[in-house]
């Protein structure tokens, strides 16, 4: 102990426990207040940073939408493919239609050509029949007139059996047509047992190595025009105009011709007076 401890005035006053406790409580309260304030400030300062962002989650509806979108895309692709197939089929059909149209036009032209040829032959046949009827009436009148002359019949009979004076190629033509006398007449026929007029003439000249056109109109201009007063065996006789003739025959000499006249008479040999021709052409 200090040597002055026993002196009262030199002793430090003792703090009471209550004061110490009070001071400790005040200090503790202050510290607590500061701690709370600090914690509150820290919490307020950190709040914007520690906020959580809610990200969208793949819900059942969103999954359904994704599936639906995929289905729509697949359907669109299928539609495009189907459209492409249809376009290709349409293009192919168009090409086939074009080819069919071309073929149809070709067949139509052929049918038109055949119909025109048939029309010409029918007109030729009608005109030939009319001419045959006129010739028949003329022949009947000539027969009645000749019956008054007894020598006329003998001359006619002699003429009908007379032989031709043709030679060379003309003789071959004349011999051929005379060999067909008695055959049937059939429109469009070219032998060997039936003929129409131009078919017989064409076949006859083929014996001489000459190719004539098929129809009367063309045969009437196939050679050199000659006068009916200057005929020679083998000349082609025609009825109607040159280039528009409706009937043809072959002159065989002695005022006679051989021709496929009509269905009633067939192929006959007659005198020029039976059915006087309009003109003649010489091919040989």
Q: Are 234 and 251 in contact (CB under 8 A)?
A: yes
Tokens 């000659």 belong to 226
- What does the pLDDT average to over 108-120? 81
Per-residue model confidence (pLDDT) at position 142: 45
| Spatial CB neighbours of 210, under 8 Å, sequence gap ≥ 6 | 169, 283, 284
- What does the pLDDT average to over 65-92? 83
Tokens 């098929």 belong to 214
Position 196 confidence tier, pLDDT thresholds 50, 70, 90:
very high
Instruction: Give a three-class secondary structure readout of 15-61.
Output: CCHHHHHHHHHHHHHHHHHHHHHHHHHHHHHHHHHHCCCCCCCCCHH
- Relative to beta strand 256-262, strand 266-271 is antiparallel
DSSP secondary-structure letter at 243? Answer: T
More confident residue, 70 or 132: 70
**Distance from C-alpha of 213 to C-alpha of 197, rounded to nearest angstrom:** 12
pLDDT single digits (tens) 121-179? 777 776 666 555 555 554 444 444 444 343 333 333 333 334 456 678 899 999 999 99
Alpha helices in the chain (DSSP H): 17-50, 60-146, 150-160, 168-179, 197-206, 216-219
| Spatial CB neighbours of 256, under 8 Å, sequence gap ≥ 6 | 159, 160, 162, 164, 269, 270, 271, 272
Architecture of domain 132-282: Alpha-Beta Complex (3.90)
pLDDT single digits (tens) 198-223? 999 999 999 999 999 999 999 999 99
Task: Give the mean pLDDT of the chain.
Answer: 76
Q: Exposed (0-12), middle (13-18) or buried (19+): which is 247, by Cβ within 10 Å? A: buried
Per-residue model confidence (pLDDT) at position 270: 96
Q: How far is CA 167 from CA 73, 146, 157, 164, 259, in A?
A: 96, 33, 24, 9, 20
**Distance from C-alpha of 280 to C-alpha of 247, rounded to nearest angstrom:** 11
Instruction: Determine how many CB atoms are found less than 10 A away from the CB of residue 276.
Output: 14
């Amino acid at each position: 102990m200090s040597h002055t401890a026993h002196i009262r005035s030199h002793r430090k006053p003792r703090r009471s426990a209550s004061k110490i406790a009070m001071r400790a409580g005040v200090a503790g309260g202050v510290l607590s207040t500061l701690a709370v304030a600090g914690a509150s400030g820290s919490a307020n300062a950190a709040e914007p940073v520690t906020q959580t962002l809610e990200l969208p989650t793949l819900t059942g509806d969103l999954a359904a939408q994704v599936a639906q979108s995929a289905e729509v895309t697949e359907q669109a692709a299928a539609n495009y493919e189907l459209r492409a197939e249809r376009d290709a089929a349409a293009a192919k059909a168009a090409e086939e239609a074009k080819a069919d149209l071309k073929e149809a036009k070709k067949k139509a032209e052929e049918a038109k050509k055949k119909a025109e040829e048939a029309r010409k032959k029918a007109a030729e046949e009608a005109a030939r029949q009319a001419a045959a009827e006129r010739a028949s009436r003329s022949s009947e009148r000539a027969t009645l007139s000749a019956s008054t002359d007894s020598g006329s019949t003998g001359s006619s009979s002699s003429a009908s059996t007379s032989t031709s004076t043709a030679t060379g190629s003309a003789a071959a033509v004349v011999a051929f047509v005379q060999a067909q006398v008695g055959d049937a007449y059939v429109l469009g026929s070219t032998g060997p047992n039936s003929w129409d007029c131009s078919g017989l003439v064409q076949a006859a000249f083929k014996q001489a190595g000459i190719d004539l056109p098929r129809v009367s109109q063309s045969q009437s201009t196939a050679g050199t025009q000659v006068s009916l007063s200057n005929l020679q065996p083998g000349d082609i006789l025609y009825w109607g105009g040159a280039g528009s003739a409706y009937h043809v025959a072959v002159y065989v000499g002695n005022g006679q011709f051989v021709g496929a006249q009509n269905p009633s008479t067939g192929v006959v040999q007659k005198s020029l007076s039976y059915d006087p021709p309009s003109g003649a052409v010489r091919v040989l």
